[in-house]
Amino acid sequence: MKPWGPNNKLIHVAHLRAPESKLPSIIYLSGFGISMYYVKPLLLKFVEFMDEPVEVFSFDLPGYGASESPDNWNTENLESELLLLQQVFTKARLRKPFILIGGSLGGLLAHLYYLTYPEDVAVVSASDLSKNRPRGGLTGEETLQWWRDNQQLFLRSSDNAGFIYCADFNHVQCVLDMELAANATKAILTQIHNEIIH
């Protein structure tokens, strides 16, 4: 637990360090309501699938898992979530630009973080974004507007910890498939490496 949340609230962190890694730091943003108690073993599998040392970081958002709840849920909004992400990433001293991997709503949050802080992010890899998200390509402003219109469904209550909003088995299976996430990450790293060489 780290005092990295708003007003030094405690945040439950999973940080798998790899000082010898030459790869960008990888940050996993889970869907809302998934706890690090469940995610950390999956991240250990992710590291195994990567075949080389890699630093992986994730944490429970305030009010989920073991992280403390905000003092006032009414102050939680898109801007406060993005600011929290930036604050936690900075305090974790992660190498930038990093790779953001997001599952479900974590994928949408990863995309919005990239739109807000593009210099921090090498690439975003999102799996099975929210089923309520409109289909088809959205501009950055359309994505932000969708988030503003729908965020209260996901940020209002701390008593739904462990509840996966609007999910079925296939959605959960896709979002938590660490072999799929590792293979996608390896493909992304290969592409980044090839672009640097050429």
Say which CATH topology domain 6-193 has.
Answer: Rossmann fold (3.40.50)
pLDDT, average across residues 34-48? 83
pLDDT, average across residues 105-110? 81
Please state, for a pLDDT cut of 90, what percent of the chain lies above it: 12
For the beta sheet containing 26-29, the strands, ordered from the edge strand earlier in sequence to the opposite edge, are 13-16, 56-59, 26-29, 98-103, 121-127
User: Cα separation of 58 and 43, whole Å?
Assistant: 9
Positive/negative CA dihedral, 33, 38, 40, 42? negative
* Assessment of whether the complete model's pTM goes beyond 0.75: no
Q: Taking 60 as the threshold, does the pLDDT of residue 32 lie above it?
A: yes
Which of these ranges, 2-11, 32-41, 61-70, 162-171, has the smallest mean pLDDT? 162-171
pLDDT, average across residues 134-162? 47
